[in-house]
Amino acid sequence: MTGAEASESAAAQAANGESATLDAGQLREALAEAQQLASSHKDQYLLAVAEIENVRKRAQRDVENASRYGLEKFAVELLPVLDSLQLAVSNAARADAKSLAEGQAATLKLLVKAFERLNIRQINPEGEPFDPERHEAVMARESATAEPNAVLQVVQPGFELGGRLLRPARVIVARAPV
């Protein structure tokens, strides 16, 4: 008989007017079962607490690793750009203007490819409607050919990382002629 069954039995006996007394053996048995059940629940509780702590530590480690290795990927992508710039600086004294320009173009190409691999996209909104969420107007200029509030010229392109704005595009916006 479990502790709960013993309690129910005693309550039923009392309700029926019978003696609600149980002998000492039944009480010891009910107490032992209740203690065993409490011990089992305590063990389950401690196991759950330990599991939650392990999940918390694992999640913290995963966040730290993602941050560390995310930055590592970025650095690895930029190393060829650094190498190219160092080569250009070391050879600048003995190179002619044409080879310097070619080296700069090659370095820029390396940087653009690194940005593509890192999912960094350039925002060049020329001709598009002005969007204050993605563009920063530095000037408004009258235009008879462009729609009012259209981007006439991009002064400095903006950039997005995975759809998140890193820097707004700085633009000149069209306004209606006066």
pLDDT in tens, 2-39: 555 655 665 555 555 444 466 888 999 999 999 999 99
- pLDDT-derived band at 107 (thresholds 50, 70, 90) equals very high
Q: Is the pLDDT of residue 152 over 60?
A: yes
- pLDDT-derived band at 83 (thresholds 50, 70, 90) equals very high
Q: Mean per-residue pLDDT for 151-162?
A: 94
The model's pTM: 0.60
Q: Mean per-residue pLDDT for 170-174?
A: 96
Beta-carbon contacts of 125 under 8 Å, excluding residues fewer than 6 positions away, are 131, 134, 135, 151, 154, 158, 169, 171
| CATH topology for the 121-178 domain | Nucleotide Exchange Factor Grpe; Chain A, domain 2 (2.30.22)
Beta-carbon contacts of 47 under 8 Å, excluding residues fewer than 6 positions away, are none
Q: Are 119 and 161 in contact (CB under 8 A)?
A: yes
The pLDDT value given to residue 74 = 86
Q: Is the pLDDT of residue 46 over 70?
A: yes
> How does the average pLDDT of the chain come out, rounded?
87
Where is pLDDT greater, at 157 or 16?
Answer: 157
The pLDDT value given to residue 6 = 53
Q: Mean per-residue pLDDT for 89-98?
A: 86
The angle, 0 to 180 degrees and rounded to 10, between the axes of the packed helices 97-117 and 24-91 is 170
Q: Mean per-residue pLDDT for 101-109?
A: 92
Q: Where are the domains of the chain?
A: 121-178
Q: Are 3 and 30 in contact (CB under 8 A)?
A: yes
Percent of the chain with pLDDT over 70: 88
